[in-house]
Structure 1
Amino acid sequence: MAETIIENLKILSENFKHKFDTFTNSVILVNEMNKIKVQPEDEANFRITYNLRFNEKTILIPKEAVYHFCLDLFKRQNDSIEVIYSIVKPIDIDECFKIEKEEFLNIINVIKKELNYNYRLKHLFLESSRFEITYFNSLLIVEDKKKEYYSNVFNFRKI
């Protein structure tokens, strides 16, 4: 599970113009503003260290919140912004379908149609009334506009 999260973070980092270096049990994601280190701590948690102005901040994040926390770091406007961890539930595909039913199914079908037309499709941004959905390099990034759920990342081929 930790390896999958690390691999998906590497793909996500490309979407936000970050480079990455992989080590035995961690990854460092870097751009001109961010330096983020993500490593598994135990079965349930990840240790994330990121730059905060001229210092570093380390925080222990449950594995279900790693994508959400890293997406917030990728989107920071400057390195003095501290990302706050809050306790909510991660969104899953079943919940997306429960909340939006037809609208979410239509989005999935649009992505499939685009992939059938262009199998090399790398990036596609779609939006529903509740979610911001990004397809990037076979990953589906789902972000809740109401912030009631953690953002989550799914392998599109497994949906």
Structure 2
Amino acid sequence: MASFFCAIGLLSGAADALISPIISRTLGGISSPHLNIARDIGGVEIYTPFPKVLREQYSSSYIFGVKNLGEEADTYTFTATDDGNSEVNPPSFFLLPQATRNFTVTLTVPAHIGNITDVLTVTVLGDSGKNVTAILRSDVRPNPPPVVVAKIENSP
């Protein structure tokens, strides 16, 4: 399945937030030695996946992980914004203390945008006010030209 890696440009909702060093962690039964975590102190952690190369006119999904670090259960809402179209599923869910859960962000890349870097900003906000934001940058590439196969017939 997917590894989680909080790679590029992590932010947090709290002024005293930590960005943890790379450590080994298990999230939802998936263990990775390369996790870097954005954390709101006393609140919530977000784990981001490795960036992908995105293609024009295609959709691609990223799986993010969230952990409730608090002493109380909380309902979290997820937002995702980028340079194109993004969709979050599920847009919110309930987490018990110390529980983890994944959510998926699907990006749809429009046609004819060329070689760019897509900047995806994901924010997790709890009803309690706990929040954290992660930024994931992915390269976008044009689709390769179609391959044309021609049949050459020998004439007598």
TM range (shorter): 0.3 to 0.5
TM-score normalised by the chain length of structure 1: 0.32
Indicate the structure whose relative CO is greater, using CA pairs within 8 Å and at least 6 residues apart.
2
TM-score normalised by the chain length of structure 2: 0.33
| Greater gyration radius | 2
Higher strand content, 1 or 2: 2
Higher helix content, 1 or 2: 1
